[in-house]
Amino acid sequence: MEEKCIFRYSVINAYALPICWIEVLDTGKDNVLVYRFDSKSWNGDTDIIKPEKLTVPEMTVRKIRELIDGHPELFGFDELEEPPDTFGENSRFRFISGDKVADISGYNLWYYEDRDNRDANGREPVRAWNVLAVFNRIRDLLLKVGIDPYYLRLAHEETE
- 149-160 pLDDT, tens digit each: 999 999 875 534
What pLDDT was estimated at residue 40? Answer: 60
Per-residue pLDDT of 4-56, as tens digits, reads: 999 999 999 888 888 899 999 998 888 999 988 876 655 555 666 767 899 99
Residue 160 lies in a domain: no
Using the predicted structure, report yes or no on whether residue 106 has a pLDDT greater than 80: yes
Residue 69 lies in a domain: yes
* Number of domain units in the chain: 1
Range of the domain at 23: 5-152
Residue 124 lies in a domain: yes
Residue 83 lies in a domain: yes
Residue 36 lies in a domain: yes
Name all contacts of 29-34 with Cβ < 8 Å and 24+ positions apart.
Answer: 29/55, 30/54, 30/55, 31/55, 31/56, 31/58, 31/61, 32/56, 32/142, 32/147, 34/147, 34/148, 34/151
Q: Count of alpha carbons within 13 Å of 120, Cβ hemisphere only?
A: 12
What pLDDT was estimated at residue 1? Answer: 36
Query: Domain of 27: which CATH number?
Result: 3.30.1560.10
Residue 158 lies in a domain: no
Residue 157 lies in a domain: no
Residue 43 lies in a domain: yes
